[in-house]
Amino acid sequence: MLTKTYVIMLLTLLFGISVQAAEPEPAPTLESLQEEVERLRSIMPGQAFAMTQVAYNFNNLWFAAQAENWPLAQFYLNETKVRLRWAMRITPVRKISTGDIELTAIATALETGPLATVEQAITAHDNAGFVASYTAMMHGCQGCHEAIEKPFLQLQIPTMPAEAMIRFTP
């Protein structure tokens, strides 16, 4: 078995690579942790960014179902769910003109209501059921945008897929 020292010697001889033992990391201080939290906060995606990811997956879901590619539709449904939960974790409660609004409660109601119906339609390979439940979910999404006083974030049935590299036909 090659020992570590032997490997280092070999590397040095063969390639002139000098391998130095890593300096032990200094123990974190309260200050260094605060700085790190600040840094992470400054690079963390905001809720609107997470929402673009919700829209990306919900958009592709439409085209997967139109092509009757049910496994792909199931994939995009799962991703929509996961991204919506992520978006909610970023800012679970938002300030509006009349006080605070609990976004998580709205999202959970949509997930267990219309989005669950979309999933049933996918499982049943039911085109008409899909169109109806997808549209209902979209109105639910829109409802939240109105609740957060951004009614101009109006949603429509997508006109082209968000992803051009995925082949939607099964």
Query: Which residues of the shown chain bind ligand HEC in the complex (CB under 6 A)?
Result: 47-48, 51-52, 54-55, 58, 80, 103, 106-107, 110, 141, 144-145, 148, 150, 153, 155
Residue (3 or 97) nearer to ligand HEC, CB: 97
CB of 6 to ligand HEC, least distance (A): 56
Question: Closest Cα to residue 151, out of 139, 143, 140, 159?
Answer: 143
Centre a 10 Å sphere on the Cβ of residue 34 and count the other Cβ atoms it contains: 11
Q: How far is the CB of 33 from ligand HEC (least distance, A)?
A: 28
| 8 A C-beta contact, residue 67 and residue 168 | yes
Minimum CB separation from ligand HEC for residue 69, in Å?
A: 19
- The amino acid sitting at 14 is L
Smaller CB separation from ligand HEC, 4 or 41: 41
User: CB under 8 Å to 12, separation ≥6 — which residues?
Assistant: 18, 19
Task: Name the nearest CA neighbour of 144 among 92, 106, 99, 109.
Answer: 106
Nearer to ligand HEC, 73 or 107 (CB): 107
Contact status, residue 99 vs residue 83, Cβ threshold 8 Å: no
Residue (54 or 72) nearer to ligand HEC, CB: 54
CB nearer to ligand HEC: give 10 or 96: 96
Distance in Å, CB of 92 to ligand HEC, minimum: 9
Sign for the CA dihedral angle at 137, 138, 139, 141 comes to positive
Structure tokens at 14: 């063969």
State the minimum distance, in angstroms, from the CB of residue 10 to ligand HEC. Answer: 54
